[in-house]
Amino acid sequence: MELSVKQMDPEEFGRQRQEVLTAWPTGKEVDFDEAVAYQKELPAAKVMAAKLAQGKAKGVTYAQPRAGVALISEHIELLRYLQDEGGADLLPTTIDSYTRQNRYKEAQGGIEESRSIGRSMLNGFPAVNHGVMACRRVVESVGVPVQVRHGTPDARLLAEVTLAGGFTDFEGGSISYNIPYAKDVPVENTIKYWQYVDRLVGLYEENGVRINREPFGPLTGTLVPPSISHAVGVIEAVLAVAQGVKSLSLGYGQCGNLIQDVAALHTLPLLAQEYLKKLGYPEVMITTVFHQWMGGFPQDEAKAYGVISWGAVAAALGKATKVIVKTPHEALGIPTKEANAAGLRTTKQVLNMLRDQTLPQTEELTLEEKMILRETRLILDKVLELGEGDMAVGSVRAFQAGVIDVPFAPSRFNVGKILPARDTTGAVRILDFGCLPFDREIRDFHQERIARRGRDEGRDPSFQMVIDDIYAIGKGMLVGRPRG
Ligand code: 8ZB
């Protein structure tokens, strides 16, 4: 199949489907027409796209945790706890690492080991191994929509099983679940895998079932310049809509400077709408997702609550439709259900207190928005130019050329030349532009802001600043200053 942004032809989809559904025995539980009928019977309160549309109209920010364990009844107990004791507005099912790598045999081993030891030996819920009926038990046990969250380069079977299983939202995308997660998978391959997932969602849509799709916004974490993650989000939005997706949540990971974070939340849906329209796609529903701090966390739980709260503030003031919540156990690993619920309660307290407040549209905020818009457009226009109008082809070439370059990504298909650093206010700027297609004015802006930090710290801007920024939060700070 030649790479193109165009909708997959039905023959190609059917051919792949045979292969996908026979990769593990539970694939044969998938009966598309029956699954459509099942999805149609779900009450509106359990349909993510419907609930997000409601939240967007009301201007509220919903809170969603991450959570997943190996066994079905324990997973249900966990989700119920987060709903009832944490007040989660939306629920996840985080998938384990074996499943993310299509290693279903090893996931099966993890299930059996968990059964015999009596605690979860997997870092998530192995939905493919458990199968369609088990997913339905999960969905039927709670009162709010449930989303699949993972990090899978090839999620075709996972999507088939979980969507037939009644999940109404599927996270991930061809770039966002490849470049930050895999070392050796070509972008061209993941674009094709994810076109299958998006086409599947498109088929549900054509049969009257709306499934929400959410590209993974934060990429590698807290030092990704907003224009880079926005460019990836818009590309994945275009690729999804081309396959028939009608409901999208676009994500952004907290950088830590409030004005920059709010500017990023304001501009993300505007850019997606702009490029969808420019490329002639139909209008779709777009909501935003804000990720609380995706970097290192303090071990001290009291300090962790501070980090969590600051993320809740940015999500609320930026009017994100949803915030993905961290827990006081973030520095330690997978949280207990109590710690997970505590992170939710902290977040909801802040969201409730700020629900009627917005950040005033100051000159500074407008300037941040203007810079993010300009930078993202320069990247996206170059992607389209490289692809001769085709976003899929352009994306592959853009990664080759370093026109899109994700800092700190493990993928060998990412050039890895750019270096971000914080300015003196903690906003993420670019120290080394690598091959980003930015003009003089943008480069001067970044350089000037980083130079100001250098003057404040009495040192020349250098790679040391980048290192200091990475370790700063562990020392209780946002900006990595010399001598704390
Ligand atoms: C890219 C996402 C990383 C975040 C959390 C990590 C981290 C991963 C689970 C989970 C609760 C799980 N995470 N797996 N949280 N239950 N099974 O995702 O702690 O914050």
- Residue 198, pLDDT score: 99
* pLDDT at 277 (0 to 100): 98
95 token code pair: 């998938």
Q: How far is the CA of 156 from the centre of ligand 1 (A)?
A: 21
Q: From residue 31, how far is each of 39, 164, 237 by CA, in Å?
A: 12, 7, 27
**Pocket of ligand 1, candidates 64, 334, 336, 337: which has the most ligand atoms within 8 Å of its Cβ, to mutate?**
334
Q: How many CB atoms neighbour CB 173 within 10 A?
A: 27
pLDDT in tens, 230-239: 999 999 999 9
| Catalytic residue set | 100, 171
- 58 CA distance to ligand 1 middle (Å): 29
154-207, pLDDT tens digit by residue? 999 999 999 999 999 999 999 999 999 999 999 999 999 999 999 999 999 999
Separation between Cα atoms, residue 276 and residue 154, nearest integer Å: 25
Look at 94-103, 430-439, 468-477 and tell me which has the smallest mean pLDDT. 468-477
Cα gap 267→290, rounded to integer Å: 13
44-77 pLDDT, tens digit per residue, is 999 999 999 999 999 999 999 999 999 999 999 9
Task: Check if 462 has its Cβ closer than 6 Å to any atom of ligand 1.
Answer: no
Architecture of domain 10-354: Alpha-Beta Barrel (3.20)
Distance (Å, rounded) from C-alpha 255 to C-alpha 265? 11
95 lines ligand 1 (CB under 6 A): no
Which residues are registered as beta bridge partners of 200? Answer: none
pLDDT at 483: 73
Which ligand 1 atom minimizes the distance to the CA of 125? 17
Task: Give the integer Cα–Cα distance in Å for 429 and 220.
Answer: 15
User: What is the model's pTM?
Assistant: 0.98
DSSP classification of residue 406: -
pLDDT, tens only, 243-283: 999 999 999 999 999 999 999 999 999 999 999 999 999 99
Residue ranges of domains in the chain? 10-354, 418-484
Kindly report, residue by residue over 349-377, the tens digit of the pLDDT: 999 999 999 999 999 999 999 999 999 99
Distance between Cα 265 and ligand 1 center (Å): 23
The answer to whether 225 is annotated as binding is: no
Portion of the chain with pLDDT greater than 90, in percent: 98
Which tokens belong to 254? 């907290």
Q: Which of 161, 189, 228 is nearest to 428 (CA)?
A: 228
Binned at pLDDT 50, 70 and 90, residue 381 comes out as very high
Q: Among 313, 174, 283, 156, which Cα is nearest to 232's?
A: 174
Fold of 418-484: Glutamate mutase, C-terminal domain (3.90.970)
The pLDDT of residue 484 is above 70: no
Residues 6+ apart with CB under 8 A from 30: 21, 132, 160, 161, 164
* Atom 16 (ligand 1) nearest CA: 67
d(CA 321, CA 192): 29
